[in-house]
């Protein structure tokens, strides 16, 4: 009965990369088998002596826009139902899409804490890209680079503050 943290967002924003980085950080000793962590959907994360279960809601990412949207709606509903904290990942390089806006609207209606993570902010020059995401109405956008493991400490701080 650890708190559940769900990662939601449209395909290719970097949900699984983030999941694997957060998983690898703390459980690499027990999960060092190549290929194991990559395909897992649940992982246990420890940060500052607080433990939580992280869920990657991605799965198989379809090509078709309608199917993507349906899947995102279902993921968001599942996350709103079962998670204690929701991490909504968007693409700081690609910018806001209509799917982001729709899921953003859904997430605004939940009373669960939602953390807006703007991924792919790989260097300081890209940090201005986060401001567009204020329009989603989910509060302060947090710049991260899952690929370069930047901003993840601040993101984890933000997550565990909500337990």
Count of residues in contact with ligand GDP, rule CB under 6 A: 16
Spatial separation of the C-alpha atoms in residues 123 and 34, rounded to whole Å: 28
CB neighbours of 153 closer than 8 A, spacing ≥ 6? Answer: none
11 is in an annotated binding site: yes
- Is residue 96 packed enough to be buried (19+ CB in 10 Å), middle (13-18) or exposed (0-12)? middle
Which one among 44, 46, 122, 158 touches ligand GDP, defined by CB under 6 A? 122
Three-class DSSP category at 97: coil
Which one among 58, 92, 104, 113 touches Mg ion, defined by CB under 5 A? 58
Among ligand GDP, Mg ion, none, residue 12 binds (CB under 5-8 Å by kind)? ligand GDP
122 is in an annotated binding site: yes
Task: Give the residue among 115, 119, 153, 162 at the shortest CA–CA distance from 22.
Answer: 153
Using CB under 6 A as the binding rule, whether residue 75 contacts ligand GDP is answered as: no
Instruction: Name the site residues for ligand GDP (rule: CB under 6 A).
Output: 9, 11-17, 58, 61, 119-120, 122, 145-147
Question: Which residues fall in the annotated binding site for GTP?
Answer: 9-16, 56-60, 119-122
């Amino acid at each position: 009965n650890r708190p559940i943290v769900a990662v939601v967002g449209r395909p290719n924003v970097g949900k699984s990369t983030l999941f694997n980085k957060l998983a690898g950080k703390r459980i690499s000793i027990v999960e060092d088998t190549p290929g194991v962590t990559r395909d897992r959907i649940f992982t246990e994360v420890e940060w500052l002596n607080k433990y939580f279960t992280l869920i990657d809601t991605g799965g198989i990412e379809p090509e078709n826009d309608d199917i993507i949207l349906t899947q995102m709606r279902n993921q968001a509903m599942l996350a709103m139902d079962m998670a204690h904290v929701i991490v909504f990942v968007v693409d700081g390089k690609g910018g806001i899409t209509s799917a982001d806006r729709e899921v953003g609207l859904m997430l605004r209606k939940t009373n669960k804490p939602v953390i807006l993570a703007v991924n792919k902010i790989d260097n300081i020059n890209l940090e201005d890209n986060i401001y567009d995401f204020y329009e989603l109405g989910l509060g302060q956008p947090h710049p991260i680079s899952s690929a370069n493991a930047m901003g993840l400490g601040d993101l984890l701080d933000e997550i565990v503050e909500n337990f």
